[in-house]
A and B are shown apart, each in its own frame.
Chain A
Amino acid sequence: MKRLTGALLALLVVGVLAWAAQNPLLINGAGATFPYPIYSKWFDVYHGKNPSIQFNYQSVGSGAGIKQVTEGTVDFGATDGPMNDEQMKAFQDKRKTSILHFPTVLGAAVPTYNVPGVSGALNFTPEALAGIFLGKITKWNDPAIAGPNKGVNLPANDIVVVHRSDGSGTTYIWTDYLSKVSDEWKGKVSRATSVNWPVGLGGKGNEGVTGLIKQTPNAIGYVELIYAAQNNIPYGSVKNSAGTFVKADLASVSAAAAGAAKEMPDDFRVSITNAPGKTAYPISSFTWLLIPAKIDDTGKRDAIKGFLKWMLSDGQGNAEALSYAKLPKEVVQKEEKAISNIQ
């Protein structure tokens, strides 16, 4: 018994000493759920290379991420939709410095459906998608859908629209795209992580939307590309701004970013839905890290800058294994320059 106690005490002392010796610098972040798998992989790999730095990320949602970084309860935030001017101003007022956006990887939303008798991939025009989600196109054999799907036997059934019920970056990308291709959508519904849907049922999360579509004949909805790819969910092609029908994959999503890179603003707050380029998938988006422009703690500042540099070089190599499209090199170069804005 005595020996056991002694051993335990020794273990405790060793543990405390080890902890005191390397007590890593803890950097806290919170935000978007969509990039969580790649962020946790990055933070894990980076900690392995730099044991003195530990990133801690909570995937609480983009809205909560923006809120927490504004309040200063975390060191950095993350979001699937760029902060709007109002939110930027609120940050400026509260923290007396600006907030910087750093794109990290790319995501996309894809249309998925369950039409009895149709097994192949359907082609969707922007007009068809906007019409369906506005509730104006109500039958599967509507000419707007049937037109680009010659040879597919579309039934005369009523379309059941399914959307996300939880606030989500995927909804932001989807509604941002519809706002760009349809003036009526822009005026009536517009873009946000949750909107007032004109029609349809809501499913919670990608799995909820997929479940509803599988359960409901004649349903159509949208899910994240990564979710669709990992779960072998069939999805359709969408006509891009160059007039070609493109199926979403890592290459076509990266192509959308490359197409938009030429007009990339200096603050990186850009929507790349409906991007130019023949091979670009039109419903794609960046996801961003939100970093305050002024970080008083020099240790944390250097650690965050170091991580950003690594993320843009070696880190991008991890992206595709986890089904995220990586940044095009034009964007990487631009971001590398922007890191010096953190002071």
Chain B
Amino acid sequence: MAGSRSFLSRLRDGDEIARLITLVFAASVVLITILLVYELWINSALPRQKFGLHFFVTQVWDPVMDEYGALPFVYGTLVTSAVALLLAVPLGIGAAIFLAELAPPRVSDALQFFIDLLAAVPSVIYGLLGVFIVVPMMRTVIFPALNKPFGYLPIFKGPSYGVGFFTAGIVLAIMVIPYIISVSREVLLSVPGDQREAALAVGSTRWESTWKVVVPFAKTGIMGSIFLALARALGETMAVTMVIGNTPKIAASLFAPGYSIAAVIANEFTEATGDLYLQSLIALGLVLFLLTFILNGLARLLILVTTQKGSGVSN
């Protein structure tokens, strides 16, 4: 009975209620994920039976002949996200270091306001920006600049239509940079002051204290910001479909038009008439989920490995 009395008294205090309510909230996240996978799995039975694992390696997407393969879309999703991160990570982290460590607090706060604003811009606006600014620039400036000296490399081969993997990667990079800056800046700012003071006290320059002490200290959080950016890039639909060219082909050239998983689902779902067609699109959704899941897992593994090694760096 003592237990129930203490339960009642805890209930009166509100602790137990708070615990139960927050537990339900936390459990709902898990429940939603499970339901999502369940629904995707149930509704993609037809292509699984018909294509099996061939679904992952087939390059044809033909709604007339009812033949579907995920490979060009998986390729497009991975390539555009990789380009986006290659461009956004150095820029984003550099900006975050400046804002957190070097800029006067007033400047930092003012700039942060603009960065938060950027993060809130709807993706269709970034898509329009891509169509009207990045696409023409790609054709007239960026493509000639890269094709002339490096055209012998397959990834810089022409022709360029303006739209394609590279354009989509640039637009995605612009979209995810605010996330990287915003989260990384917060993490860097939360590094305890005595870490910096200790580094300066033993004779480090300001940059040395930033680069060798503060940044490694905040590494896990910075990695977190990059994964957030990656997740956003993998799933981005509207902006990508506006600038990627929507052509389900695998090409080595970054200037070639391609397609991504999220874009093809958004494009074709409403008019998908046959059952196999519709379910193949849902199967693509499942593939995107898997892709995100695997990349997230790898990312976590990477953090685990590097933080263990990283503990030796800060001496």
Q: Which residues in A have some Cβ–Cβ distance to B below 8 Å?
A: 33, 60-64, 66-67, 87, 158, 160, 165-169, 189-197, 200-204, 208, 211-212, 215-216
Contacts and interface: CB of A to CB of B under 8 A. Distances in A.
Nearest to B272: A63
Interface string B241-283: 1100111000000000101000100111111110000100000
Interface residues of B, number: 32
B29 interface: no
Interface in B93-136: 131-132, 135-136
10 contacts: A61-B270, A165-B263, A166-B267, A167-B267, A167-B271, A167-B272, A193-B273, A196-B63, A204-B242, A204-B246
Nearest to B63: A194
A194 B257 contact: no
Contacts of A190: 64-65
A246 to B, nearest CB: 28
Given A62-B271, A215-B162, A216-B162, A201 B60 contact: no
A202 B139 CA distance: 17
Contacts of B74: none
A165 B241 contact: yes
Contacts of A211: 131
Nearest to A59: B270
B162 A202 contact: no
B271 A64 contact: yes
Contact of A203 (B62, B246, B271): B246
Q: Which of A66, A67, A195, A204 has the most CB of B within 10 A?
A: A204
Contacts of B263: 165
B56 interface: no
User: What are the 10 A-B residue pairs with the smallest beta carbon separation, nearest first?
Assistant: A167-B271, A202-B246, A61-B270, A165-B246, A196-B62, A63-B271, A63-B273, A166-B267, A193-B271, A190-B64
A194 B271 contact: yes
Given A201-B247, A216-B162, A168 B242 contact: no
Contacts of B63: 167, 192-196
Given A62-B271, A166-B267, A204-B241, A196 B257 contact: no
A333 to B, nearest CB: 31
A316 B268 CA distance: 31
B61 A196 contact: yes
A166 B272 CA distance: 10
B171 interface: no
B271 A61 contact: yes
Contact of B64 (A64, A192, A200): A192
A57 B273 CA distance: 19
B270 A195 contact: no
Contacts of B222: none
B270 A63 contact: yes
A225 B159 CA distance: 31
B162 A167 contact: no
Interface of B: 60-65, 131-132, 135-136, 139, 159, 161-163, 241-242, 245-247, 257, 259, 263, 266-273, 278
B267 A195 contact: no
B65 A196 contact: yes
Contacts of B242: 204, 208
A208 B135 CA distance: 13
B64 A195 contact: yes
Nearest to B131: A211
Given A193-B273, A196-B62, A204-B267, A215 B135 contact: yes
A158 B245 contact: no
Nearest to A193: B271
A167 B241 contact: no
Contacts of A63: 270-273, 278
Contacts of A215: 131-132, 135-136, 162
Contacts of B62: 195-196
Nearest to A81: B273
Contacts of B278: 63, 67
B67 to A, nearest CB: 8
A196 B246 contact: no
Nearest to A201: B245
A63 B275 CA distance: 10
A215 B136 CA distance: 7
Nearest to A217: B139
Contact of A202 (B131, B267, B269): B267
Contacts of B267: 165-167, 194, 202, 204
A168 B63 CA distance: 13
B187 to A, nearest CB: 37
A168 B247 contact: no
B273 A160 contact: no
Contacts of B257: 201-202
Contacts of A204: 241-242, 246, 266-267
Contacts of B271: 61-64, 166-169, 193-194
A203 to B, nearest CB: 7
A190 B63 CA distance: 10
B268 A216 contact: no
A158 B158 CA distance: 13
B64 A201 contact: no
Contacts of B273: 62-63, 66-67, 87, 193
A187 to B, nearest CB: 11
B222 to A, nearest CB: 35
Nearest to B128: A211
A130 B139 CA distance: 27
A213 to B, nearest CB: 11
A169 B270 CA distance: 11
Contacts of B61: 196
